[in-house]
Structure 1
């Protein structure tokens, strides 16, 4: 009789949880249609996995809302209520409310292990002698390549690396896996990329690659600092303080699980500065 009672109780609890989940509105998460390794429509990105984890922690079903242009999804999707959450936004992004950071990472130098390049910082001799350096325009890497006098040398090569260009809005895309493969294949000696964007492809490369986090002490020719380490948060629509608080609690209480997911991706994780640890 006791065994029967326990089984009945377990079933009742399971049904109760399923009912509660059904009553909760779906967690609508803005994700990119094809911005790997972050996310895609097939749910293969690490932000897809994190979004699923968040929905489970909240006891809600996950509904993904995909966007194709990164420049307007906050205005056209989040602000208009088409989704509730934006993954992988800069901590403190003024366009929305952001959680406490769930990770901090940095830009990296990528080279082949067999080349044994001594890449420590922007004064490394290998940056002066390399014939080809792969990077994405508009990033801190471009700023510093200009500062050390290597940008013009790479201009024609950079045009070969464009993976996509929209004639309508001139949105240019550089595929992270292609940039990493430039080094793996020997076409370029060095690639300079955002660590989380490169980690999956560095890890999967048949050619052993070295990934070195760039120090966060670089300066332009005029002495202005150039940042290479950044904290990443989850964003919600302005005014949705209740959801923000729930997400902050998950980040605080389940940080080990979140870091395990990121480490499985191979992402280099850095310590958060004290100012970034306060929850807004």
Structure 2
């Protein structure tokens, strides 16, 4: 008799567990930055927010975002802990995760005012030797190449002005892409060197007409080591989550035009594996 008395409770618990599992199966939990535009924010305004919503629509799942604040630890603190299931943008073949096929490839760009008609075909362009202010993100390939052509020290104080001379110790210092593009459009800087996907939205929206030139991927440091400027981007899941990985790969392979359309509407310069521009 005691055993029989426990059966209704057991069935209730089993039913609840099945219900919860079913609900989770219909939810796509996406790791996203709470304030890293143009990628994502809590308002859902970034292009990775839009890509996540598109994924949810195609997979017939409700999208919920799990937000992070510091990019240095976001995989450890979200995806690795099982708080979310997919990251929309990581370098293809990132060893920390399982990555999909690349869904876009882009590169670093030179940004200048159209009216200045600067010849900015590569890092040896004369305009780079004459510019008084060049906006760039420290730690990026732009810094490496500015050092290689002997311009980094000339620009050090200006680059620090862009974040107000804040200490970098034990904190994440963010250089806003919108601000760096505005430095050029306002005339405060002659040019900027930025990652194309970060800059595209703001170049497109600028009241001052700007040019955005993809930098060739044949750059080397003074010691001859290659400095990559073109990168492929994938989506990522936890290692071992083969089912979700296969679903994402399937969508990337069967809906390339949908993804391309969303990215090009954002103003992102897209490249082929050979480095050629992807045209609409």
Q: TM-score range by the shorter chain?
A: 0.7 to 0.9
Whether 1:37 aligns to 2:38 is yes
| 1:169 Cα offset (Å) | 2.6
Q: Distance in 1 between matches of 2:166 and 2:71?
A: 13
Structure with greater Cα Rg:
2
CA distance in 1, matches of 2:169, 2:208: 38
Aligned partner of 1:255 in structure 2 is: 256
Structure 2: how far apart are the matches of 1:91 and 1:24? 26
Relative to structure 1, the CA distance from residue 164 to residue 73 in structure 2 (aligned partners, 3 Å threshold; closer, same or farther) is farther
Deviation at 1:168, TM superposition (A): 7.5
Does the aligned pair in 1 maintain the 2:105–2:273 contact within 8 Å?
yes
Q: How many residues align?
A: 254
- How many Å separate the matches in 2 of 1:241 and 1:73? 21
Deviates more, 1:24-33 or 1:147-156: 24-33
> What residue number does 2:94 align with?
93
Q: Distance in 1 between matches of 2:161 and 2:24?
A: 51
Q: CA deviation at 1:53?
A: 0.4
Q: What is the alpha-carbon distance in structure 1 between the residues aligned to residue 26 and residue 166 of structure 2?
A: 37
Contact 2:26 2:60 in 1 (8 A): no
Shift of 1:171: 1.2
| TM-score, reference length from structure 2 | 0.88
1:184 counterpart residue number: 185
SS at match of 2:160: helix
Query: Offset of 1:41 from its aligned partner?
Result: 0.3
Aligned to 1:6: none
User: Does structure 2 conserve the Cα–Cα contact (< 8 Å) formed by 1:33 and 1:66?
Assistant: yes
Q: Distance in 2 between matches of 1:68 and 1:166?
A: 18
| CA spacing shift, 1:58–1:273, aligned 2, 3 Å | farther
Gaps of 5+ in 2: 1-21, 276-280
Shift of the alpha carbon at 1:76? 1.0
CA change 1:200–1:216 in 2 (3 A) is same
- Consecutive unaligned residues of structure 1, counting only runs of 5 or more, are 1-20, 275-280
- Cα offset for 1:87? 1.3
Does the CA-based 8 Å contact 1:163-1:174 persist in structure 2? Answer: no
Compute the RMSD of aligned alpha carbons: 1.7
| Matched-pair contact (CA < 8 Å) for 1:111–1:183 | yes
Q: Which residue of 1 aligns with 2:202?
A: 201
What are the equivalent positions in structure 2 for 1:1-280 lying under 5 Å apart? 24-162=25-163, 169-272=170-273
Which deviations, in whole Å up to 9, do the C-alpha atoms of 1:27-70 show, x marking residues without a partner? 00000010000000000000000000011111110000100000
Equivalent in the alignment of 1:14:
none
CA shift digits 1:60-106 (9 cap, x unpaired): 10000100000111111101100000111000000000000000000
CA distance in 2, matches of 1:28, 1:96: 16
For the residue of structure 2 that corresponds to 1:221, the secondary structure is coil
Using a 3 Å threshold, how does the CA distance of structure 1 residues 161 and 114 change in structure 2: closer, same or farther? same
For residues 167 and 237 of structure 2, the distance between their equivalents in structure 1, rounded to whole angstroms, comes to: 28
